[in-house]
Each structure stands twice: as structure tokens, then as C-alpha cells.
Amino acid sequence: MKVRLESSIKRYLERVEDLLLNQEVLNNLMLGLLERGKETIGVFSDGIRLGLVEEDGEPIYAFMQTPPNKWILPSVDGPTEQVIPAIVHYLYRHKYPVPGVLGRSEQANQFVSLWKELSGKKATIHMKQLIYQLDEVKVTPNPEGKLILATDAHLSIVREWLYQFGGQANVPISKSRADSMARTYIQNQSLYLWRVNGEVVSMANNSRKTKNGATINAVFTPDQYKRKGHATSVVAALSQKLLDDGYTFCSLYTDLANPTSNSIYRKIGYYDIGESVEYHFE
């Protein structure tokens, strides 16, 4: 078994894409990041680390990091009992920073246990998540509302909403980071707003795309507009748009501890197909 890093996203995808596509929805994060980066030089400002595990010259596992973020452990068919220890020892031996790890509980827990032994660092669970898939939208958005694409005219409100979203989602976003994210989403034409009676009341973002699917994130409704069905409407409308655009499925992540969001997404037609856990290291 050989563990190494690949320097080219295109070469990396040639080696591991089929492996990841076997569980495309569960691997939407990794596939989406690679899809985003393969045509855009410099999209990851701090670089990218593309890990590959091979046996007899054939890829059997992949893992990656977009510094300074956590290492991603995907869902791959076949046994991984010996793969995770090989990855941990490789990262430790080559002194790669490991701020955290995310992936399915079995792989993430094994990684954490071994990393703690080698590094002496303590780990804390940041969030347990459910991964959802949607093939058909089962609710009708409020007919009084309309899904609109966010433009430069909405920059100030999107910036503020992203800042508030970070606080509510337990992933704090600085105001400067919120501004950068808002500008990027608007420039990429990925962010959509729900407008009712001429007033924008909720938002959702098409964060990533894979070969057959699209992922939604940054779903947010300000407190003054909550409990009126706006989040349901914006996610249902955006999900339907993505399906109409030709995607086979939509996917999203939810905080396992948030019953409200989980209830909303199930009502729309999302069903959970797996779980993911995020760990932070000291």
C-alpha cells in the first residue's frame, strides 16, 4: 500500500473520480471542490493537498485538504481498516498540519484515535451532520413569492445575512469573510433570494456541482421573517430549478442537532442517506 500526494487536480480526478462517483452524493463535498478547482487556477488561495492511496498501482482511496481547513475522508466502497492508519502515519511522518478531519463516523473516529496517539493532541467534535439527497420536490413554494438571483444590488444584505448565518450555524464568519463570500456568490451567480411582496426574506446558495448533482448551502432566514415558510419556499424553489436545469439530484448537509432544519428538508423531499462528523484538533 502506497500513500502519496498528487500535484495536479486534473491528474488526480483521472485517478480517483470513478472511485468517488460510486457514492456521489456522500462524496459531494470532495467532488464539488475538485470540480470547482480543476478549471480555475488559484481558486484555493492557500493551495490544495490531494491525497491518494494505491495498492498494486491502482487507487483504492482518496483524501484531501484545502488549507487551512480540515482533511476530508470520503466514502469509498471496500474495506478501509488499513487505509486510515496508513494515511495518519503518512501525514504525521511528513509533518502536514492536521487542524481537523471530517468524514463518516467510522473513518473519522479511527483517524482521530490514531492521530491523538501520535501527536498527543486533543480532539473535540465540532458538529455531527446528516447528508441529504432529493430526487423530487414534494412541496409547492408560496405562490406569492419568487426566486430571484442575487445581484450587486443585494450585496449589503447578503453580506449581513452570511455573517448572521455563521453565528447561527456554529461556524462563525468574520465580517470581512462574509463580504468576500457575498461578492463571490454574487459573481458566480450561485446565490438565490426569496422575494415576497417586493421584499427579500430568505436565501439559499448553490454551493457545489458534481457530475450529476448540485449541493445547496447557506440557507438563512432573518429572525423577523422566520416561521412563515420562507426557508421551505426558497429551498424548494432552488431545488426544483436545479432539477429543471438537468441535475439528477440535489444534496445538502444539516446539523444533526437541529430538528427544525431537518424537518423542513424532509418536508421538501430530502431524505438522509448518510452521516458525517467534524473533529477539531487543538
CATH hierarchy code of domain 133-274: 3.40.630.30
More confident residue, 169 or 232: 232
Confidence (pLDDT) at 46: 60
Confidence (pLDDT) at 38: 79
Torsion angle defined by CA atoms of residues 269, 20, 23 and 96, in that order, rounded to the nearest 10 degrees? -80
Q: Which CATH number fits domain 2-121: 3.30.460, 3.30.70, 3.40.630, 3.40.50?
A: 3.40.630
Find the mean pLDDT for residues 207-233.
95
Confidence (pLDDT) at 170: 81
Write the burial class of residue 61 (CB in 10 Å: 0-12 exposed, 13-18 middle, 19+ buried). Answer: buried
Which H or E element spans position 133? strand 123-134
Q: Is the pLDDT of residue 59 over 90?
A: yes
Span 60-112, pLDDT tens digits:
999 999 999 999 999 998 777 899 999 999 999 999 999 999 999 999 999 99
Express as a percent the part of the chain with pLDDT over 90.
89
* Matching fold, domains 2-121 and 133-274: yes
In the chain, where the domains are located: 2-121, 133-274
Confidence (pLDDT) at 78: 79
Confidence (pLDDT) at 44: 54
Find the mean pLDDT for residues 258-280.
95
